[in-house]
Structure 1
Amino acid sequence: MTVEAGTTRLGPPDAGELLTLQLAAWVREGRTAGTIEIPPLQEGLADVEAALADPAVTTWGYRGPTGRLLATVRTSMIDERTAFVGRLGVVPDLIRQGIGGAMLRLAESRLTGVSRIELVTGIHSLDNHAFYARHGYKIVSADEAEGTVRLAKNVHLIE
């Protein structure tokens, strides 16, 4: 699947729709973790607006033919050569249809000057672990207290 044509950079005017997608997409993660005390489920509209206004964070959204926001992913830089990919989410009614993988590839393709990409997911989110492994990511650390694992992928320098 390709998402290029329907993907745009989201901004503060998209906050309400992004919050709705975020809440819907992360309920499954919360169930897997056994708690709703995970950041995507704790944020409010002001938090989402602030993230969308942050120049250090790029949030991409994929809209279907009707204009509905179907998926999102955000990127930022950890250091000069290391990027962070986060908040990769797809509406629940369209998971397992290739949209998440397409969004991950899109996010990776838009990173420049990068030789490593990192991300975080739930320690018990085995479906996520398998998804990211299929895309070349490996678990590099776990934080039992936070209930998270950090995954990373070394890439040929993206210019």
Structure 2
Amino acid sequence: MTSEPADEVVLTRVSPDDAGEILTIQRAAFVSEALIYGDANMPPLVQTLEQLTAELQESDGWVARRAHRIVGAIRTRELDGVLLIGRLAIAPDMQGEGIGRRLLEAAEQHTHAAEAELFTGSLSEANIRLYERCGYVESVRIEAGDGTATVFMRKQLTDAPPGPGPSRPNGAAAAPAL
């Protein structure tokens, strides 16, 4: 029987059983975002274990494991022909290792959707750079009125023409609960 080297990162499908470790990674990863925005009450930081477990039962996604430790996670859901990507989180000590890019690629390769969409905050420059390097382009920017904005980014995944995507009230993008 062969085994993976201890330092190799392996991607597997997310499971509700991963909720505790994912919540720990999510909170650790989003602390830097809270500092950027001056908001410790952002959804990834206040989500409960029960909420996350329920969410994982209704969504899909991937986890990155290194020596049996979850070091990254991404959650996805398909809606109206669009792959909605949310809560990409990488353990702070593993950031910059290409794990986020690998998780995005796994999500994109295992969908029937023609397009993918994700969002981040306008001050999250490292996130925006990563998404642009992965082929995402800004599609909608919604100003928050405090000098920040929610930036929605899309990527064409197939040669099929883009669909209408998730319905947006008054033409505005609505952040999915991922």
Provide the TM-score with structure 1 as the length reference. Answer: 0.87
- Distance between the aligned counterparts of 1:102 and 1:8, measured in 2? 11
Which structure's CA Rg is the greater one? Answer: 2
Q: Which runs of 5+ in 2 are unaligned?
A: 1-7, 161-178
1:72 aligns with 2:76: no
2:168 corresponds in structure 1 to none
Write out aligned runs for 1:45-84 (5 A): 45-54=49-58, 57-64=59-66, 66-79=67-80, 81-84=81-84
Q: Does the CA-based 8 Å contact 2:108-2:157 persist in structure 1? A: no
Contact 1:123/1:144 (<8 A) preserved: no
Q: Does residue 1:100 correspond to 2:104, yes or no?
A: no
What is the SS of the residue equivalent to 1:124?
Answer: coil
Who is 2:155 aligned against? Answer: 153
Structure 2 contact 61–107 (Cα < 8 Å) conserved: no
Larger strand proportion, structure 1 or 2? 1
Q: Quickly say closer, same or farther: Cα 1:115–1:40, change in 2 above 3 A.
A: same
> Which runs of no fewer than 5 residues in structure 1 stay unpaired?
none
Q: TM-score, normalised by structure 2?
A: 0.78
Partners of 1:148 and 1:94 lie apart in 2 by: 26
After TM superposition, where is structure 1 displaced by more than 2 Å over at least 4 residues in a row?
none
Question: Percent identity over the alignment?
Answer: 36
Count of aligned pairs between the two proteins: 150
RMSD: 1.8
The DSSP-based 3-state class of the residue aligned with 2:157 is strand
Selected match of 2:41 from 37, 44, 61: 37
